[in-house]
Structure 1
Amino acid sequence: MAQPARQLTQREYVQKQRRHTTDSQTMTLPKRRITKGEKLLWSLAALTLLIFGILIVSKQAVLYESSRSLSNIEQKLESTEKTNQDLQTQVQSLKQPERIIKFAKENGLKLNSKNVKIVNK
């Protein structure tokens, strides 16, 4: 009985050796060479990605500049509207009849009710 067990272990040893030699043979693959066509394709792909990247960055820069310009114009518009509103308020205060009458009396003019005409808007 010892003999068949020994033969079995020898067979396993031989099979392991065969596996080991076949594994080492499959591990050593020949070096793969890159063809000129593949190099050309890879370089075209890299160039295309580079061009698209540059285009995206340039478009973002233009968009940023436009946004900044728009923001400046909006700020100027708001300040102009505020100035217009302040001037409109000043015009309304200067149009008041009491103020006009007071100014006329200070400069020597007299109010003659026969010559006064009221104009409604």
Structure 2
Amino acid sequence: MMNAEQIKHLQHQEQEQTQKQVKVKVQKKRWISRGEKFLYTVASGIVLTASVFMVQFSSTTDALNRDVQKLEQQVKVQKTTNENLQYEVKELSNPDRILKIAKENGLKIQNAKVKQASTIGN
């Protein structure tokens, strides 16, 4: 048989065991894991970088298009000016006009045949 002291000791041990609380770490389930966060961050960075390059490329292309349009406009103006000058050269080199100016300045024309020189001597 057990004596009273042993019984008390056993009761005391049982009380200690029931009073001990086991501490359990409860981990809250995260909505997004670390790996997913990393992947989302990398994907966002790539999309952002691609967007910046697209905007920059578009801006450069627009600037080049504007420059090309300005040059085309300048070419048109220059062509028009050249055509006007060619017409004026033809008009001023008319043989009748030359004869009229020659007579006004007192030149005597011995031969009525006036030829237009298109090229200067070879």
Q: Which runs of 5+ in 1 are unaligned?
A: 1-29
Higher RCO (C-alpha 8 Å, min separation 6): 2
Q: Which runs of 5+ in 2 are unaligned?
A: 1-27
Cα deviation for residue 61 of structure 1 reads 0.3
Which of 71, 76, 79 is the matching residue for 1:78? Answer: 76
Query: Aligned equivalents of 1:65 and 1:107: distance in 2?
Result: 58
| 2:115 pairs with 1:118 | yes
TM-score after normalising by structure 1: 0.68
Counterpart residue number, 1:93? 91
**Is residue 41 from structure 1 mapped to residue 39 from structure 2 by the alignment?**
yes
Cα shift at 1:35: 2.4
Q: Aligned-pair distance for 1:120?
A: 7.0
Please tell me whether Structure 1 or Structure 2 has the larger radius of gyration of its CA atoms: 2
Describe the superposition over 1:63-102 as per-residue Cα deviations: whole angstroms up to 9, x where unpaired: 1001000000000000000000000000000010000000
Write the distance in 2 (CA, Å) between the matches of 1:117 and 1:101: 8
Higher helix share: 1
Q: Distance in 1 between matches of 2:31 and 2:76?
A: 67
Percent identity over the alignment is 33
